[in-house]
């Protein structure tokens, strides 16, 4: 399928799960538009839509922590994408300096 | 943190990435309310909110493909949760009969 076949929500966004391709570690979840998904596929580096800033966000453009795309797969409903990457730069995906954004245990 | 500390969207939902705890395979993405996240933590099996049906959805209740919760972690922003599970039943998460919902390659 192509970016045109993906189902975007009412804001024109699709959730993109970013996973380190070899270790399987889930690094982050961000959002893409049709345009930033197409740019991700064309350029081979992740490009998202920043909901807080309301603009295109080429991950690592300033930090150097770009993500090199290995494969992009949609789910059965076509409304979520899984982006398998090689996390470049210092190997850090999270703005806190941690490798993965998922580091806050949730308990009862 | 607890379910009360998670940041839900304007619909009261948070995206929940479900990952097989040992292989690292991303199985699916579904949505949780505060209540279904609390129920997931209390009962040790994933419970979601079905947006299409507008109701609570105990995964595997009819299919037998329940997911046994190993760990739940929120991301840095607290607005996404990663649920690491042991996929039970026939080891199948997707309603198509595939192990993972992510099986549709996306290309230019």
- Residue A12 near residue A79, CB atoms below 8 Å: no
Contacts of A16 (CB under 8 A, 6+ apart): A29, A30, A31, A32, A37, A46, A48, A80, A81, A82, A83
For residues B29 and A80, give the distance between their C-alpha atoms in angstroms, rounded to a whole number: 7
**From A40, which residue of chain B is nearest by alpha-carbon distance?**
B108
Nearest chain A Cα distance for residue B107, angstroms: 5
Contacts of B82 (CB under 8 A, 6+ apart): A26, A102, B16, B17, B19, B72, B73, B74, B75
Could you read off the pLDDT of A41-63 as tens digits, one per residue?
999 999 999 999 999 999 999 99
Q: State which residues form the domain around B66.
A: 3-87
B73 lies in a domain? yes
Q: Is the pLDDT of residue A8 over 90?
A: yes
A4 lies in a domain? no
Band of residue A3 on the pLDDT scale cut at 50, 70, 90 = very high
For residues B80 and B36, give the distance between their C-alpha atoms in angstroms, rounded to a whole number: 14
> With contacts defined as CB-CB under 8 Å, which chain B residues touch A42?
108
- Residue A14 near residue A3, CB atoms below 8 Å: no
Mean per-residue pLDDT of chain B: 96
B8 lies in a domain? yes
| Alpha-carbon dihedral sign for residues B93, B3, B21, B105 | positive
**From B1, which residue of chain A is nearest by alpha-carbon distance?**
A106
For residues B105 and B108, give the distance between their C-alpha atoms in angstroms, rounded to a whole number: 10
Q: Is the pLDDT of residue B90 over 90?
A: no
A59 lies in a domain? yes
Could you read off the pLDDT of A68-107 as tens digits, one per residue?
999 999 999 999 999 999 998 888 999 999 999 999 999 9
CATH number of residue A53's parent domain: 3.10.20.810
B70 lies in a domain? yes
B28 lies in a domain? yes
| Residue B106 to residue A74, Cβ atoms within 8 A | yes
**pLDDT (mean) for A64-71:** 96
- For chain A, the domain total comes to 1
Count CB neighbours of A94 within 10 A.
17
B97 lies in a domain? no
**pLDDT (mean) for B95-105:** 95
B77 lies in a domain? yes
List residues of A whose CB lies inside 8 A of any B CB. Answer: 1-3, 5-6, 15, 17, 19, 23-26, 28-29, 37-38, 41-42, 71-78, 80-82, 94-96, 98, 101-108
Q: Is the pLDDT of residue A38 over 90?
A: yes
Residue A90, pLDDT score: 86
Could you read off the pLDDT of B17-63 as tens digits, one per residue?
999 999 999 999 999 999 999 999 999 999 999 999 999 999 999 99
């Amino acid at each position: 399928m192509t970016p045109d076949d993906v189902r975007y929500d009412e804001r024109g966004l699709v959730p993109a799960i970013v996973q380190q391709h070899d270790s399987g570690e889930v690094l982050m979840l961000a959002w893409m538009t049709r345009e930033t998904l197409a740019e991700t596929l064309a350029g081979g580096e992740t490009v998202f839509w920043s909901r807080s800033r309301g603009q295109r966000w080429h991950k690592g453009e300033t930090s150097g922590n770009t993500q090199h795309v290995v494969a992009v797969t949609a789910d059965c409903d076509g409304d979520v994408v899984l982006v398998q990457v090689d996390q470049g730069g210092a190997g850090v995906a999270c703005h806190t300096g941690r490798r993965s954004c998922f580091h806050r245990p949730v308990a009862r």
